[in-house]
Amino acid sequence: MTKWLRRAGSQVGSLAQDWRTWIPMVPFVLLAVGAVIQLFTVFAYRLTYPLDLEWMEGGVLVHAHRLLAGQGIYVAPTVDFVPFLYTPLHPALLAIVGWLFGLGYLTGRLVSILSFAGALFVAAMIVIRTSRVWRSSRLHAWTVALLTTAVVAVAYPVCGSWFDLVRNDSLWLLLTVTGLAVLSPVGDLSYRRTLVGALVMSAAFFTKQTAAPFVVAAVGALALVGRWRQALLFAAATVGLDVALVLIGQWSSDGWMWVYIYRLHQSHRFIHERLWPGTPERIILFAFPVWSLLAVWMVVVVVNGVGSRLSFFWVTMALCGLATSAVGSATQGAYDNALIPGLYFSAVAAGVVAVELPSSVRSPPQRWSLRSLWDRFVLRRSSSRGLGIDSHVIALAAVMLLSSHILIRWVDTSPLVPSTDMVQDARRLVARLHRLGPRTFVPYHPFYNVLAGGQGHMHIMGVNDASVWAHGITGDPERDQRIKAAFRRSIVDAFASHRWAAVIHDRTYTYQLPGLVRYYRQTQDLSRLGQAPGVLTGNRCTPRYLWVPR
C-alpha cells in the first residue's frame, strides 16, 4: 500500500508538469469526481442517523454487542439471540471498534464507509497499475481510474444504497478486491505474494461466504495464464486456512457454526428465473456501456490475439462477479445488495481494459490460430499486434463510454437521505425507548433494546430462519424438531412471564411471535405520535405498534 501511494504521488507530480494535456480531460475528471463527492455527501448525511436505516443493521450490532460481552454468536436459537447466516469477521471487527470507540450506528457505518473508500482506492490503483504494464499514457490511466470509481459510485441506488450500512458487504468488497489485486499477474508473482493473497481471501470468506467463488475464479485464471505453481499454492493455502478456522469455530461453538454459515443456506428456496436470465440481464442492461467495453476487448482478443494476463484476470473476475450476483439474487430473501459483485468487478475490469486497449491496437492486424491465440494471449510468447487504429481515438472512445454510463445513471440521491421529519421521529422514538427501559422487546430492531439499556435479543429474521429447522438441517430429524420446539417455547415463555414490559412490533400480523396476542394487548400506534420512523432500504418496516402485558 505504501509503495502504491509513493508511485501515485510521483505520477501526480509528473502530470502536474504537463498541465496542458489535462485540458481535454477536465470535463471527464470533473464528472467522475462529482459522482464520488455526491455519494460521500449522502454517506455524511446518513452517518449520524440514530436508528436503523435498514432493518438488519441493529441485528448486526447485537452480534458485536454479544462478542463485547464475552458471549458466543453461534448458539442454539432462543428468544435471546439467533445469529444471521454469515461468517464472523465483520461483527468481530465491530466489537473491536466498539471496545475502542463505543459501539453504535455511527461507528458501525464508519467501518463500512472506510471499507468502501478503500475498495474504490484499490480499484483505482489496479487501473493505474495497468498503465505501467503497457507503458501507456498516465493521464489516460488516471482519468480512467477516476471514472472507474465513479461507475461504482453511481451504482449505489441500484445496489440498495448499501455501501455505508452496518452490513458486511463493503468490508467483504475491500478484502476481496485487495486479495485479488495481490494475486493479479503483474510482474513476478512470488510465493510470498501468493500466500498474502490467500490470507486476505480467507479473511474475505470469513466476512461473507460469497468470497468463495472468487477463490475458485482466481485459481482458474492463474492456471490459465501459466502460473500453475502459484495457483496450486493459493488454492491449498486458502482452502487449508478456511477449513482449519471453520473446524476451530465448530469446536468452540459445539457444532453450531457450520449449521448457520452453510446448512441453513441450503434450505432456502432457489428462484431459477433470477439466476438466468433475470439478474445477468439486469446487471448488463444497467451497465451497458461498461459491458460494451468488455465486449470490445473480447472481440479484439479473438480477432487479433491481443491481450494480457492482467486484463484476462480481471475480465474473469467480472464474469465471476456476474455469476456470484446471479446466484445470490436467486436465493430466497435476497435483496439488491446481491448485485454489488457483478457491478463492482465489471467496473474494475472495464477500467483495466480501457487502459489496455489504446496500447494494444497500434499495429496492423494479423492472421491468427487457436495456437497463436494461446501463445500470445495466455503465454505471451510473442508480441501482440493491434488493429491499426489511432490509439488516441480508442482512448477517447473508452473514456466517453465510461462517462456516458455515469451520465445515464446519475440520479437524485435525496430520497436516500433521512428527511428532517424522519430524524425528528427517530429522536422521539429514542427518547421513548429510554423511558420504557431495558425490558423493551423490538423484534425487527433488536439494537433498540440496547439503546433502551438492555442486552439485546433475537431478530425476527431468526424466526424466519428457524422455521426450516424441521427440514433436516442438523441431519437428525428428531434433533431438528427439538431445536425448533425449544425455540418456540422460549418465545412463548418470555411472553407468558411478562418478561417484556413493552413490545414494539412493526407488523399487523403476529404469527411469527407465538404467545404475543394471548399475553399482551395492543395499546398505541406510535405513527400517530410521530415516534415511528421507518427504514430507507431493504425490508420496509416501521416500529409502530406498542403492546403491553394483559
Encode pLDDT of 265-309 as tens digits: 888 889 999 999 999 999 999 999 999 999 999 888 877 766 788
User: How confident is the model over 172-211, as pLDDT tens digits?
Assistant: 999 999 999 999 988 788 999 999 999 999 999 999 999 9
**Is residue 12 very low, low, confident or very high in pLDDT (cuts 50, 70, 90)?**
low
Kindly tell me the sign of the dihedral angle through the C-alpha atoms of 127, 314, 239, 329.
Answer: positive
**Is the pLDDT assigned to residue 424 strictly greater than 60?**
yes
Give the pTM.
0.93
pLDDT digits (tens, 9 = 90+) for 499-547: 999 999 999 999 999 999 999 999 999 999 999 999 999 999 999 999 9
Q: Which residue has the cell 439467533?
A: 82
| Mean pLDDT, all residues of the chain | 90
d(CA 125, CA 154) in angstroms, rounded, equals 19
What would the pLDDT profile of 142-167 be if each residue is shown by its tens digit?
Answer: 999 999 999 999 999 999 999 999 99
Share of the chain above pLDDT 90, in %: 77
Instruction: Encode pLDDT of 326-372 as tens digits.
Output: 999 999 889 999 999 999 999 999 999 999 888 766 544 333 344 44
Q: What residues does each domain of the chain span?
A: 24-53+85-414, 418-549
User: Rounded to the nearest 10 degrees, what angle do helices 138-153 and 391-409 cross at?
Assistant: 20
Q: What are phi and psi of 375, to 5 degrees?
A: -65, -45
Q: Give the bridge partners for 548, in sequence order.
A: 521
CA distance 22 to 351: 19
Residue 122 has pLDDT above 60, yes or no: yes
Q: What are phi and psi of 474, to 5 degrees?
A: -90, -10
Residue 382: pLDDT band (50, 70, 90) is: very low
So what's the pLDDT on residue 137? 78
CA gap 52, 54 in Å, rounded? 5
CA-CA distance, 547 to 74, in Å (whole number)?
30
Inter-CA distances, 28 with 126, 414, 496, Å: 19, 24, 64
Query: Sheet harboring 502-505: ordered strands across?
Result: 440-441, 502-505, 545-549, 520-525
Percent helix, strand, coil in the chain, to 5, is 65, 5, 30
Q: Which one, of 162, 155, 161, 154, lies nearest residue 31 by Cα?
A: 154
DSSP assignments along 349-374, one per residue:
HHHHHHHHHHHHSSSPP----HHHHI
Share of the chain above pLDDT 70, in %: 89
Helix residue ranges, H only, 206-308:
212-224, 228-252, 256-258, 264-266, 272-273, 279-286, 288-304
Assess whether pLDDT exceeds 50 at residue 81: yes
Banded pLDDT at 394 (limits 50, 70, 90): confident
Q: Which single residue is written with the C-alpha cell 468490508? A: 171
CB atoms within 10 A of CB 45: 15
- The answer to whether 368 and 303 have CB atoms below 8 angstroms apart is yes
Residue 466 clears pLDDT 50, i.e. is over it: yes
Burial of 5 (0-12, 13-18, 19+ CB in 10 A): exposed
What are residue 542's phi and psi, to 5 degrees? -140, 125
Residue 475: pLDDT band (50, 70, 90) is confident
